Amino acid sequence: MPFACLISFIPLGALIYGVIGGIQTSQGQDFKYWLIGDWVRGTLTGA
């Protein structure tokens, strides 16, 4: 049961992380996601 409660908080954490990223980018700062940021940047720039 405790594991199921922890799993249910994942979407809430993703929403909060997205809002933080939106605020940082609106202030002109660079933002990348923790695990996939470098991979996506390399894919988009062709590196």
For residue 30, the model assigns a pLDDT of: 87
Residues 6+ apart with CB under 8 A from 25: 31
For residue 47, the model assigns a pLDDT of: 60
Cβ 25 vs Cβ 33: under 8 Å: no
Residue 44: pLDDT band with limits 50, 70, 90: confident
Question: Tokens 């199921």 map to which residue?
Answer: 4
Residue 43: pLDDT band with limits 50, 70, 90: confident
Provide the strand spans (E) within the chain. Answer: none
Q: Taking all residues of the chain, what is their mean pLDDT, rounded to a whole number?
A: 87
